[in-house]
Chains A and B, each alone.
Chain A
Amino acid sequence: MGSSIIAQKESRFKTTQEDRVPKLHYRLRKELWCLAFIAPQLALFLLFTAYPIVMSYVYAFFDWNGYGPLKEFTGFDNFTETLKDPIFWNAFRNSLLFMMWLVLVQVPLALLAALLMNAEWLKGKIIYRTIIFLPVVTTTAVVGLVMRFVFGAYKGLFNEMLLKIGLIAQPVDWLGSVDTALLIVVIVGIWKSFGMKMVYWLAGIQSLPKEVFESARIDGASSIQLLRYITIPLLLPVGSVIVLMSAVNALHVFDLVQTMTGGGPAFKTDMVDVYIYRYAFSGSGEARVGFASAAGVLYGIVVMGISILLGLFVRLSGGRRNQKRF
């Protein structure tokens, strides 16, 4: 090895003809190494991302139960059937509602929490931050099941608390009643990912230029003025990215609803992803994989439409990020 070091060091001083060949060879070797480095990712990508996406489109045009060969080509039947199904539209409405609650309530409240957690005068921030973020790290499916008990009609924690304060006289079946079930799911949804949104906002706040605040302070701006005229406008670009991510995540809520209510009662908390799951892995009767795929494709297009709209909003609000890549 020692001799090869010397050889290479010496070769740097020579610019003769025979030097060109190893150089080309060297570049080719590098390129081969690069291909070898991306090969695992490429294999995983082709097998577990590209192939499934293509197949999910193919399945959508067949009547297929998930087993055996694809035989019954049905054209756009699965799509038209989805569009005609009132249960699909019901699930769609619920998903939209869930998303809007999260975007309109959770995101702004998370901003308030982030501003508070960023305040210099607040002591014990780390403890508060740790507590607020805690639900985020827990398993959503398990939390959904725990919430079944928390909001359960019989000896549920929530009922016991309300009974104790005297707000209700009788235990209420919060998740079993058509009037309250969706509201409870929304509240738990907001609580579960609240810490995530707060940390997003915090990251945004902490990346703002400090000098602007200092000079505004020197000019005699009050805290409220700082917030109103500097912090909020400067946060708009980050904010619209947060809204975009929250919306897309909320539109694909599954674990929480599947474990908390399974979509019930009477489909009041049914979400599109729960609806699709029900058809793809039907507990009762035959699974309809083709139909589930068609519903998935349709919904995917809708979600993309919503993200494009929100993306335009990002642009309009002066999206100064993401330009440097590649």
Chain B
Amino acid sequence: MRGTRWRGPRLLLHLVLIAAGIVWIYPFIWMLTASLKTTNEYISSGISLLPKKLQFGNYERAWETAHFSVYFWNTVIVTACVVLMILAVCALTGYAVGRFRFRGRIAFVSAVTATMFMPKGYTIIPVYTLVDSLGLNNSLWGVILAEAGGGHVLFILLFVAYFRGLPKELEESADIDGSGFFRTFATIMLPLAKPVIATTAIMQFMWTWNAFLMPLVFTLSKPELRTLGVGMFQFTGENTMDWTGFAAAASISLLPILAVYMLLQRYFIEGVAGAVKG
């Protein structure tokens, strides 16, 4: 009975939600369709979405002439390297801290967590001068190191909590079987930490793909090292009139992460939720 009485309002709610949902992501839909229009069509079409004829010329222009192919691959390389580095570093640290008592453990953990809450000056400049003095400033390694360098305390804590929760017997039996410290970690413990690995990988992927300030600063004088976000920023500064080219470039920047999100949306949301719960 309850069900029938509420059917009308519920239908209405769904209609409202669907309308709101379309408005919510309309800017992206608009961007995508604009990227398939000619400039004239873009100007005359107002808010209507569908292009008369699909134009891929904008993509060609963005990919080749505006160097978005370079920016795209730079972003892919930087993101892949940063995610792998963070995973390795955090898993190793989390395992040692979570499962063993060793001298300096408490000091180490407090130092790492304390800096999270400490007021900082403008730390990006020392990072820049440091990378510069290491001689890494003319390659993507500069951006990669700078991005992998700071701010992943959260992931360490996730790994610590997870490894700590695994039963003690795992190690004891591995010890009895004569498995060494590293082998126990790599073949027994690490495979068990898949949920944390997934959370870390997805969150870090999202952050690095979308990073802006760090790659901006590191590539101010080196256009060939730009990532997509920075490339977009400079492109817009230089080409104020090429709207459809802009839309194509923006689509190139956003479609990869949107595609990954659509495929793995559950993990994205669980990752964010897991991070706040942890």
A56 to B190, CA, bound (A): 37
Contact B125 A145 (CB under 8 A): no
Binds A, one of B56-64, B84-92, B193-201: B84-92
| Residues of B in contact, count (CB < 8 Å) | 97
B166 at the interface (CB under 8 A from A): no
Q: Are A132 and B176 in contact (CB under 8 A)?
A: no
B96/A38 in contact, CB under 8 A: yes
Contact between B269 and A47, CB atoms less than 8 A apart: no
A91-99, A210-218, A301-309 - interface stretch? A301-309
Q: Are B121 and A60 in contact (CB under 8 A)?
A: yes
- The answer on a CB contact under 8 Å between A134 and B25 is yes
A254→B127 contact, CB < 8 A: no
Contact residues in A for B146 (Cβ distance below 8 Å): 48
- Do residues A155 and B42 form an inter-chain contact, with CB atoms below 8 A? yes
Given A45-B111, A138-B258, A149-B246, A38 and B123 touching (CB < 8 A)?
no
Minimum CB–CB distance for A53 against chain B, Å: 5
Contacts of B220 in A (CB 8 A): 281
A325 sits at the interface (CB 8 A): yes
In the assembled complex, the Cα of A40 lies from the Cα of B108 at a distance in Å of 13
Chief secondary structure at chain A's binding surface: helix
Is A128 close to B, CB under 8 A? yes
Asked whether A40 and B89 contact (CB < 8 A) given A31-B102, A45-B111, A325-B157, the answer is yes
Interface residues of A in 32-71 (CB under 8 A from B): 33-35, 37-38, 40-42, 44-45, 47-53, 55-57, 59-60, 66
0/1 string, B258-278, CB within 8 A of A gives 1: 100110011011001110110
What is the size, in residues, of chain A's interface with B at 8 Å between Cβ atoms?
A: 100
**Inter-subunit contact B178/A4 (CB<8 Å):** yes
- How far does the alpha carbon of A155 sit from the alpha carbon of B48 in the complex, in Å? 12
Chain A proximity mask over B210-221: 1 for CB below 8 Å, otherwise 0: 101100010010
Q: How far is B32's CA from A138's CA once the two chains are assembled, in angstroms?
A: 14
Please give, as numbers and ranges, the residues of chain B lying within 8 Å of A132 by CB-CB distance: 21, 24
A41-B89, A133-B269, A241-B276 are contacts. A52–B130 as well, Cβ < 8 Å?
A: yes
Q: B36: CB under 8 A from chain A?
A: no
Determine the chain B residues whose CB is within 8 A of the CB of A255 once the complex forms: 212-213, 229
The distance in angstroms between the C-alpha atoms of A47 and B145, with both chains bound, is 10
Kindly identify which residue among A33, A47, A141 contacts B182, using a CB–CB cutoff of 8 Å: A33
A residues lining the B interface (CB < 8 Å): 1, 4-5, 8-9, 12, 29-31, 33-35, 37-38, 40-42, 44-45, 47-53, 55-57, 59-60, 66, 121-124, 126-143, 145-150, 155, 157, 160-161, 164, 191, 196, 199-200, 202-204, 206-207, 241-242, 245, 254-255, 258-259, 276-277, 280-281, 289, 292-297, 299-301, 303-304, 307, 325-326
Apart from A34-B96, A254-B213: 4 A-B pairs, beta carbons within 8 A: A47-B149, A55-B126, A126-B266, A325-B161
Q: List 16 A-B contacts (CB under 8 A).
A: A34-B100, A44-B89, A44-B149, A53-B118, A57-B121, A59-B121, A127-B21, A132-B21, A139-B254, A141-B210, A145-B233, A145-B246, A148-B236, A157-B27, A241-B276, A276-B122
- The 7 A-B pairs with the shortest beta carbon distances in the complex, nearest first, are A48-B149, A56-B121, A300-B119, A55-B126, A37-B96, A52-B123, A203-B273
